[in-house]
Structure 1
Amino acid sequence: MKIIGIITSPRKEGNTAWIVNKILEGAKERGAETQVWYFGDLDIQPCRGCWGCHKGDRGCVIKDDMQKLNDAIDHANAIVFGSPIYMMQMSAQAKIFIDRMFARFSPRYSPYFKAENAAQKKLILAFNQGNPDSGLFQSYIDYTKHMFELLEFEVKEVPVVTGMRNGPAHEREDLRTLLKDIGSSLVGE
């Protein structure tokens, strides 16, 4: 089984990176092959809204690192997608990624993966936030989960790590086992 992590925080060694890597660690311990993509290391431009991706067989007209990331997604069985919550929603980097996924959606709004692959891609959608109230942004988290489901991902879990203002995630012992178990469960299915 191959699982990729996509870290959309601008901080390479921040909470989001630690959370995604801890989930991948749990999967790796169960024998999965893992790979991490740091969005900040990639040259991925925003969607231009030109619809070039849906005209003929050209694909996206923007030639950047999104093609490499799409290839990794195509060859993965599961994805761990991590974003901090900034201003009540995903990071700007995460939004650029989501917007570029439009190229994988048909003009009549039917999903790409359903046609290409019989099995849906499994997805862990991991968020972290400074506020300790886990329900504060629940409507946005539900919306984002639904958006990934429309893209034909099978959203397995949506862990939301809260209270990041009180200290970094890596200092919280309770998270280590919880996050590794999430990764382990991806392989156990």
Structure 2
Amino acid sequence: MKIIGLMASPRKEGNTAWIVNKILEGAREQGAETQCFNFGDLDIKPCQGCWACHKGDQGCIIKDDMEKLNDAMDHADTIVFGSPIYMMQMSAQAKIFIDRMFARFSPRYSPYFQEENAAQKKLILTFNQGNPDSDLFQSYIDYTKHMFELLEFDVKEVPVVTGLRNGPVHEKEELQTALKNIGSSLVSERLLK
């Protein structure tokens, strides 16, 4: 089983990276192969809205690190996507990535993944925020979950880590266990099939 982590934060070693890495650590402990991509290390340009990706077979005309991410997603069984919540929504880095996913959608908004592959594309969508109110951005989180479902991902869980103004996330021991259990359950679920 192959699981990739996408860390859509400008902070390479911040809370988002720690959260995604803990989920991946739990999966690795159960034998999964994992790979991480930190958006702070990648060159991903914004979508130009040119529709070239839907005119013929050339795909997106922008040649950047999105090609690397598309290839990794095509070969992964599960994706762990993490973003901090800034200004009531995902980070700018995450939004650029999401907009570039348009190339994986047809002009009729039918999904990119083939029928037999769609069920295999599981997604853990994780957010973190400084505010301790876990319901504060729930409508946005639900919207984002639905957006990934339209892209034909099977969204398994949406852990939201809150109250990060009260200390670094890595100091929360019970959270570390919970996140590793999410990663572990991804592998266990596949073994049961």
Who is 1:125 aligned against? 125
Contact 2:118–2:152 at 8 Å: present in 1 too?
no
More deviation, 113-122/136-145:
113-122
Return the alpha-carbon distance in structure 1 between the equivalents of residues 173 and 79 of structure 2: 24
In the TM superposition, residue 84 of structure 1 has moved relative to its aligned partner by 0.1
For residue 112 of structure 1, give the secondary structure of its aligned residue in structure 2: coil
Contact 2:127–2:159 at 8 Å: present in 1 too?
yes
Contact 2:5–2:20 at 8 Å: present in 1 too?
yes
Paired letter, 2:86: Y
Who is 2:141 aligned against? 141
In the TM superposition, residue 122 of structure 1 has moved relative to its aligned partner by 0.3
Who is 1:20 aligned against? 20
Paired letter, 2:104: R
Who is 1:68 aligned against? 68
Contact 1:114–1:120 at 8 Å: present in 2 too?
no
Who is 1:90 aligned against? 90
In the TM superposition, residue 116 of structure 1 has moved relative to its aligned partner by 6.8
For residue 20 of structure 2, give the secondary structure of its aligned residue in structure 1: helix
Paired letter, 1:29: E
For residue 31 of structure 2, give the secondary structure of its aligned residue in structure 1: coil
**Residues 118 and 99 (structure 1), Cα distance of their counterparts in 2 relative to 1, 3 Å cut:** closer
Query: TM-score, normalized by length of structure 2?
Result: 0.96
In the TM superposition, residue 119 of structure 1 has moved relative to its aligned partner by 2.5
Return the alpha-carbon distance in structure 1 between the equivalents of residues 110 and 188 of structure 2: 30
Contact 1:113–1:120 at 8 Å: present in 2 too?
no
Contact 2:126–2:158 at 8 Å: present in 1 too?
yes
Return the alpha-carbon distance in structure 2 between the equivalents of residues 118 and 91 of structure 1: 26
User: Runs of 4 or more off by more than 3 Å in structure 1?
Assistant: none
**Residues 116 and 70 (structure 1), Cα distance of their counterparts in 2 relative to 1, 3 Å cut:** farther
The count of residues paired between Structure 1 and Structure 2 equals 189
Paired letter, 2:51: W
Return the alpha-carbon distance in structure 2 between the equivalents of residues 104 and 82 of structure 1: 20
Q: Where does the alignment leave 5 or more consecutive residues of structure 2 unmatched? A: none
Q: Work out the percentage of aligned pairs sharing the same amino acid.
A: 84
Return the alpha-carbon distance in structure 1 between the equivalents of residues 74 and 172 of structure 2: 34
In the TM superposition, residue 188 of structure 1 has moved relative to its aligned partner by 1.0
Who is 2:166 aligned against? 166
Contact 1:114–1:152 at 8 Å: present in 2 too?
no
Who is 2:176 aligned against? 176
For residue 102 of structure 2, give the secondary structure of its aligned residue in structure 1: helix
For residue 57 of structure 1, give the secondary structure of its aligned residue in structure 2: coil
Contact 2:119–2:154 at 8 Å: present in 1 too?
no
Query: TM-score, normalized by length of structure 1?
Result: 0.98
Who is 2:185 aligned against? 185
Who is 1:152 aligned against? 152
Contact 1:121–1:154 at 8 Å: present in 2 too?
yes
CA RMSD of aligned residues (A): 0.9
Give a deviation string over 1:63-82, Cα, whole Å, max 9, x none.
11100110000000000000
Who is 2:52 aligned against? 52
